[in-house]
Homo-oligomer: A and B are copies of this chain.
């Protein structure tokens, strides 16, 4: 086991965990790799290979204990502590994110919200007051922020990423449609609507030749 873990494995683990949590609520005691594969949209062998990177959690002939495996996966994904997050950009996407119920529930605390619109600065979102984006360094440093979420226009993203990193952020979730250039020790994840839509229109175009009718 161990070595470097493929990114795709990590993503799938995240899916397995969500499936396990549903099963946990339903009271299912054990699950086989075959069943997990169905939920996660993959194959039984893939499930076992993914898990084998981290150890062996199952019982041969029986499968996996749902609560136990869920707990192990939470450990693996680093969900046993709470992460401090700063949200940069209080626009539509930022607001949708902030309200997302699973967000806080899964261990992410939004300790600050920043924006550069004077109209928005000072507003209160629940317990958090929107601050000027100039305070980014202050916030990241003083509140020991781990993850910066960039929900800002593409032009602003690179600069803000650099500032967040310089102030100590170790990971960035980027909603802007640009590739960020950051030091190797900083991790970046992308959520990019446009890329996904364009991948779809590419796929449709390839297949059925053009749009309907």
Write the residues of chain A forming the contact surface with B, with a CB cutoff of 8 angstroms: 5, 7, 10-11, 13-15, 17-18, 39-41, 76-79, 81-84, 91-93, 95-97, 99-100, 102-103, 106-108, 144-147, 154, 168, 170-173, 177-181, 185, 187, 189-191, 193-208, 210-213
Min Cβ gap A34→B in Å is 15
Give this chain's copy count.
2
Among B79, B179, B180, the residue within 8 A (CB) of A201 is B79
Contact of B106 with A197 in the complex, beta carbons under 8 Å: yes
Contact of A196 with B201 in the complex, beta carbons under 8 Å: no
Min Cβ gap A51→B in Å is 14
Contact of B93 with A201 in the complex, beta carbons under 8 Å: no
Contact of A78 with B10 in the complex, beta carbons under 8 Å: no
Min Cβ gap A174→B in Å is 9
Contact of A10 with B202 in the complex, beta carbons under 8 Å: yes
Min Cβ gap A74→B in Å is 10
Contact of A200 with B189 in the complex, beta carbons under 8 Å: yes
Interface CB pairs A-B, < 8 A, 16: A5-B202, A13-B202, A14-B195, A14-B199, A15-B195, A77-B198, A79-B201, A83-B201, A103-B193, A107-B201, A108-B197, A146-B204, A168-B212, A171-B204, A189-B200, A191-B196
Min Cβ gap A28→B in Å is 16
List residues of chain B with CB within 8 A of the CB of A84. Answer: 211-212
The chain B residue with its CB closest to the CB of A193 is B191
Min Cβ gap A192→B in Å is 8
Contact of B201 with A173 in the complex, beta carbons under 8 Å: no
Give A97 to B198 CA distance when docked, in angstroms.
15
Among B95, B108, B170, B200, the residue within 8 A (CB) of A147 is B200
Give A179 to B38 CA distance when docked, in angstroms.
9
